[in-house]
Amino acid sequence: MKKLIKTTAMGLMAALMMGTSVSALAHKVGIVDMQSIYKQLPQMAKIEQQLQSEFSEPRQALEKLQGDMRFEMEKFQRESATMSDADKEVLRTKIQGMQKELAEKGRPLEQAIKQRQNEELAKVQKLIIDAIEDVAKSGKFDEVKVKDTTIYFNPDKVADLSDKVVEAVSKK
């Protein structure tokens, strides 16, 4: 009786181990290249264009201020030898005021641009993740990995889903 139990247990254990290895072999893995996906998406060009137009006026104002400041600094360098001390001080004060104004306007503008970029990128990222899930489900993939975080993968056994994801996101 004990021998029968041992034999049955060993057979069951062997069957389970075989089942595990068979399922491990059947594990279907896909990979996506996120950088490639972002570069190919038409939505990214639209976002870039939208942000350019949205922030064009404040950027132009800062560029004008930078140009004015550069002009005043060059003027100071050219004419400081012939200027009176009072004129030099007035010009120095003017340049310092321009530098302060540039810093006060530049930082908030840069932060606003980054915030808007992040908002728009979050929307696109959600589209990408949804598309990856859809492609993985339709292709019956068990797992999808990001190419940049994967040290090694065998391209013969791992499918690159990037083009399918780009195609799916581009339709949205």
- Report the candidate in 133, 148, 166 with the shortest Cα–Cα distance to residue 43: 166
Is the pTM value of this prediction over 0.75? Answer: no
Contacts of 36 (CB under 8 A, 6+ apart): 162, 166
Q: Which amino acid is at 132?
A: I
- Residue 135's CB is within 10 A of a number of other CB atoms, namely 22
- Reported confidence tier of residue 9, pLDDT bands at 50, 70, 90: very low
Question: What is the set of domains in the chain, with CATH numbers?
Answer: 2-170 (3.30.910.20)
Most distant CA pair in the chain: distance in Å? 114
Q: Which amino acid is at 109?
A: L
| Interval 142-164: pLDDT, tens | 999 998 888 888 888 888 889 99
Q: What pLDDT sits at residue 1?
A: 43
Q: What pLDDT sits at residue 132?
A: 93
| Interval 106-147: pLDDT, tens | 999 999 999 999 999 999 999 999 999 999 999 998 999 998
Q: What pLDDT sits at residue 64?
A: 94
- Residue 57's CB is within 10 A of a number of other CB atoms, namely 9
For residue 81, what are the CA distances in angstroms to 77, 88, 94, 127, 135?
8, 9, 18, 62, 71
| Interval 22-77: pLDDT, tens | 444 568 899 999 999 999 999 998 999 999 999 999 999 999 999 999 999 998 89
